[in-house]
Amino acid sequence: MKKSMLAFAALSLVSGIAAAQSSVTVFGVLDVGARSLKGVSSIKYLHKDGVSSSRLGFRGVEDLGGGLKAGFHIEGALGSDDGSGGTWQRRSTVSLMGGFGEVRLGHQKVAARTIVDDFDAFGTTGIADVSRLYTLTGTSRDWEINRTSNQVSYFLPSMGGIYGNVDASAGEGTNAANKMISGRIGFKSGGLHLSAATGNQGVSAKLKTTTLAGSYAFGSATVYAMHTQNKQAGMATNKINSLGLAYSMGAGKLQGSFAKATGGSKLIAAGYDYSLSKRTGIYAQVARTDNSAGKRFGLGGASGATAPAAGGDSTGYSVGVRHSF
């Protein structure tokens, strides 16, 4: 009996040490909304990702001792409107972390895209997504820099408000379009946030993007400003300037943005997000694109039935529910 109790105590102690040295977290978001879009034709439907990307993920950290840690992060998209789901196409990485910063390997977003996500008042999600103006031609969604596979990235350690990362991806012979290199540097202190990023993707006709952005939070308001330039051989350079505002009112938040692309095409959007709890919220968004001659920037993308006619406009609204866990 005494031996059994001693064995149980020893096992409990070992388990406690293991738990203290490592952790795994399950997380996710389910976001479903009713959406209406009007371009050349109109459509009303239920849609995922109204204000947040629906996802399921697992992440964990193991303390290796001596200030060194290992981490993993796997995350896949969820079709919360129809029950569909992929594997880990949003992110699949393993990393080593310490006083030197973090080295991360796998599939994830690139630096040149994360800056756009951070300084769009709507987080590049939903019908108000500013990157809908980022296509080079205005007739197809050819702005590809977002996530890449076969990626090696390095993140700076904490440096008193300064942060940064660089990443590179190999085409590995069969996927030349995946070949990419990008980097980002930023400074965040108090309400001030400044950042710059640049990246090249592809081989023969590289897509080059550069972004400068800043935001300032004061009281209940945060204002955003961003300038992006996208260029590729054989296509006209597209420059996009955007302004955004987020204003908190108790459990609610008002959002607004305005963006203008080369040639004069514009996107204007407004939204309201209300938190019912720390994990559940309801939201509404309205948006509109007005296109210059020949352009077809649309709220549902620049191609397809809901895209506007060349030089026309696209309008839409979305209402929905978001729950995170």
Please work out, in degrees rounded to the nearest 5, the angle formed at the alpha carbon of residue 256 by the alpha carbons of 253 and 260. 160
Question: Cβ-count burial of 85 within 10 angstroms (0-12 exposed, 13-18 middle, 19+ buried)?
Answer: middle
Reported as a single tens digit per residue, the pLDDT across 156-209 is 999 999 999 999 998 776 667 788 999 999 999 999 999 999 999 887 778 899
Contact 276, 139 (CB under 8 A): no
Express as a percent the part of the chain with pLDDT over 90. 71
Cα distance between residue 140 and residue 133, in whole Å: 10
Instruction: Specify the pLDDT at position 284.
Output: 98
Average pLDDT, the chain: 89
Query: Residue 159 carries which DSSP code?
Result: B
Question: Cβ-count burial of 245 within 10 angstroms (0-12 exposed, 13-18 middle, 19+ buried)?
Answer: middle
| Helix, strand, or coil (residue 6) | helix
Retrieve residue 269's tokens: 């959007």
Query: Residue 133 carries which DSSP code?
Result: G
Cα distance between residue 89 and residue 148, in whole Å: 10
Instruction: Specify the pLDDT at position 246.
Output: 98
pLDDT at residue 20 greater than cutoff 70: no
Residue 92: other Cβ atoms inside 10 A: 19
Express as a percent the part of the chain with pLDDT over 70. 89
pLDDT at residue 15 greater than cutoff 50: no
Q: Which residues pair with 153 in a beta bridge?
A: 104, 167
Instruction: Specify the pLDDT at position 6.
Output: 41
Reported as a single tens digit per residue, the pLDDT across 290-325 is 999 888 898 887 667 778 888 999 999 999 999 999
pLDDT at residue 8 greater than cutoff 80: no
Higher pLDDT, 87 or 123: 123
Cα distance between residue 165 and residue 103, in whole Å: 10
Instruction: Specify the pLDDT at position 39.
Output: 87
Retrieve residue 149's tokens: 């596979």
Instruction: Specify the pLDDT at position 140.
Output: 52
Reported as a single tens digit per residue, the pLDDT across 114-155 is 999 999 999 999 999 999 999 877 665 456 678 999 999 999
Cα distance between residue 21 and residue 83, in whole Å: 36
Average pLDDT over residues 269-289: 97
Query: Residue 200 carries which DSSP code?
Result: E
Average pLDDT over residues 49-62: 96
Average pLDDT over residues 26-33: 96
Confidence of residue 17 (pLDDT cuts 50, 70, 90): very low
pLDDT at residue 2 greater than cutoff 50: no
Q: Where are the beta strands (DSSP E) in 110-173?
A: 147-155, 162-169
Q: What domains, with CATH codes, occur in the chain?
A: 34-324 (2.40.160.10)
What's this model's pTM, rounded to 2 decimal places?
Answer: 0.88
| Helix, strand, or coil (residue 123) | coil
Cα distance between residue 165 and residue 125, in whole Å: 23
